[in-house]
Chains A and B, each alone.
Chain A
Amino acid sequence: MDITFEHVSYIYQENSPFAHKALDDLSFHIPSGSFVAVIGHTGSGKSTLIQHLNGLVRPTHGKVSIGDFQLAKGMKPKNIKELRSKVGIVFQYPEHQLFEETVAKDIAFGPANFGVSEREIQRRIKEIIPMVGLSEELLTRSPFDLSGGQMRRVAIAGVLAVKPEILVLDEPTAGLDPRGQKDIMDMFYTLHQKQHLTTVMVTHSMEDAAKYADHILIMNKGKKYMEGAPKDILIQEEALNAVHLDVPEIIAFMHHFEKKFGVELPFENQTPKQLAKQIQQLIGGRLRNE
């Protein structure tokens, strides 16, 4: 499903001394099937943005379209539940939303609310549990007996069990150890490709943005600051530093390398391995020339 924002503004507590503009005339378009990273400093409006994606909040001004669904001020769409079944949001620290007696019941909670049959739910649980890296023995345990990382996976499984077409991730790896971060991100990426999802990920990690996203949206003070392909956006060191963001380590390295050796190394979403090979060839070529 395509996602389109047209001049969207959102004001918290309008008409009060606490009025606060979280989004300011924001327009962008995300085609179906993209993996978008939304990046921005704390308070740049990222979290407010994603709450527009399944109608948790409606824009104060402007219009949001998700597929055939439209959200605007004062509109009360009856099919909001249908929208929510198509847009799955994994909130920050999603383990805080667990409440059922057993892991299986908690995963079943979402799909049951959206009217999925019991048999289908059981089938989905069997399918999802290995996908998120849990074992089936955990299904009968209480979610509160699990470790933090396991709880996070259960919560993610609960969102995936609804089978959304758009997957929204709000800093999905915050607070996990490096290994867990990599596992979870790889899992989301595989899922994104296999199930042809549209993925919107809020993140602070420029590394993750460089590695997974095919489109990047940089937010600053509720406004769109930059938008484009990672290879065009992530190399703009000065522009990024101006909004308290760093370039990914690999690009920082490439910039240093260029300065030191006077060789241009264009960024094309290389992995460190590919970059090493490139440099090897470069040096090898030089040695041969000399």
Chain B
Amino acid sequence: MNNMMIIGQYVPGNSIIHRLDPRTKITVIFFFVVFVFFANSFWSYALLTVFAAVSVIASRVPVRYIAKGLTPIWFLIVFTFLLHLIVTKEGQVAFEIFSWKIYTGGIAQGIAISMRFFLLIVVTSLLTLTTTPIEITDAIEEMLAPLKKVKFPVHELALMMSISLRFIPTLMQETDKISKAQASRGVDFRTGPLKERIKAVVPLLVPLFVSAFKRAEELAMAMEARGYQGGEGRSKLRELRIGKIDVLIYILFICVVAGLFLLRS
């Protein structure tokens, strides 16, 4: 339905990035997100951008597709840029618009922050684009396994995650279906005054909740019927394995991070 949303959408493929162990991807992306905030010079941003660009190319996900998926986020990026442009008062006055002084510091800050934002989103969406939700939850379950010692319900958490991820597309379909049915009954979701449009959401939300609850009940029953009893003694169909490429990627990433700290000003 929603042609623009790609967050959470998996694009099947067999690229290097697709074949990486999901734990590797999560670790690298987690630290990438952290280290993006350490970048503070032109060259450090350039390095991270190259890293992100290479990852995107290696994933073989069509660039045009990623760009299209970013459309809802462009607004935020542009907004951040403008905010910094207007508010920051460092450096020299570059020019004036409507007697408001724009500083060079503001321009630099604006570009840096929106670049940071852009990199964060591209790289994190790459995770979901190249990793199935099942792989992601498997990886999280594995990575959190040590917490079992302190009685943290790791398996249940992972199960909750995989169930909610699994049902996102289903709920989207359901939303699409119900909104089409209500549109056929004369509901106008797109135009009209704001108050009317908010009211138009009720005929959409009520059936959606009703069916979500019904579905949850059915799922719980189906799981029990097949003998589900929690994580205790449960084996896995797919075992995760760290391979040679994973080690290589870790080494590459450590080099990038080292480079980043060298290039910081």
Contacts and interface: CB of A to CB of B under 8 A. Distances in A.
Contacts of B174: 96
B180 interface: yes
Interface in B159-201: 174, 177-178, 180-188
Interface stretch (A87-95, A175-183, A204-212, A258-266): A87-95
Given A84-B184, A91-B177, A13 B3 contact: yes
Interface string B204-226: 00110011000000000000000
Contacts of B148: none
Given A16-B65, A96-B207, A99-B203, A113 B180 contact: no
Given A56-B183, A84-B186, A97 B178 contact: yes
B202 interface: yes
A96 B181 contact: yes
A96 B177 contact: yes
Q: Which of B3, B11, B184, B206 has the most CB of A within 10 A?
A: B184
A70 to B, nearest CB: 19
Contacts of B3: 13, 16
Interface string A70-104: 00000000000100110111010010111100000
Contacts of B64: 15
Interface in A240-257: none
A99 B207 contact: yes
A256 to B, nearest CB: 41
A135 to B, nearest CB: 23
A97 B207 contact: yes
Contacts of A84: 183-186
Given A17-B11, A97-B207, A144-B210, A110 B177 contact: no
Given A85-B186, A97-B181, A159-B185, 14 more contacts: A15-B65, A54-B184, A56-B180, A84-B185, A87-B184, A96-B174, A96-B177, A96-B207, A97-B207, A98-B207, A109-B185, A113-B185, A113-B188, A144-B210
Interface of B: 3, 11, 61-62, 64-65, 68, 174, 177-178, 180-188, 202-203, 206-207, 210-211
6 contacts: A56-B184, A84-B186, A96-B211, A99-B206, A109-B203, A159-B184
